[in-house]
């Protein structure tokens, strides 16, 4: 299993590659895919498994669970229609990602 920190590096590398895409709809798709992969990998490999954790690590994992839920709700709550306002939708999705990464980084 990858270390918890390695997931953020994988995400950052993916996002940097995605940021080079010039077509807006493909950029949003690629960027969202990076975040989805990051969230799913991290969640599946660390957050869901409370059985091997104790003390401070358990508190950290419970925090991560809260961040995951907040992120999921944020993405689900994007109000801007991609087909009408691509830039506005991208700004909303980007803010969800930024908030999540800030939360994630604050744990370490």
What's the confidence (pLDDT) of residue 15? 77
Range of the domain at 30: 4-106
What CATH number is associated with residue 56?
Answer: 1.20.120
Total domains in the chain come to 1
What's the confidence (pLDDT) of residue 59? 75
Q: How many helices (H) and strands (E) does the chain have?
A: 4, 0
Give the pLDDT mean for 29-57: 73
In this model, does residue 8 exceed pLDDT 70?
Answer: no
- Nearest CA-CA partner of 22 in 83, 85, 86: 86
**44-101 pLDDT per residue, tens:** 776 666 666 677 777 777 777 788 788 878 877 878 777 788 788 878 888 888 888 8
- Measured distance CA(31)–CA(98) in Å, rounded: 12
What's the confidence (pLDDT) of residue 1? 46
Please give the model's pTM, rounded to 2 decimal places.
0.51
State both tokens at 15: 């996002």
């Amino acid at each position: 299993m990858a270390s918890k920190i390695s997931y953020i590096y994988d995400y950052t590398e993916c996002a940097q590659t995605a940021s080079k895409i010039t077509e807006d709809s493909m950029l949003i798709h690629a960027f969202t895919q990076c975040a989805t992969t990051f969230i799913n990998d991290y969640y599946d490999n660390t957050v869901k498994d409370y059985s091997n954790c104790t003390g401070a690590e358990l508190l950290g994992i419970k925090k991560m669970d809260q961040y995951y839920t907040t992120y999921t709700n944020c993405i689900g709550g994007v109000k801007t229609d991609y087909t009408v306002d691509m830039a506005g939708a991208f700004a909303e999705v980007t803010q969800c990602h930024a908030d999540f990464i800030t939360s994630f980084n604050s744990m370490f």
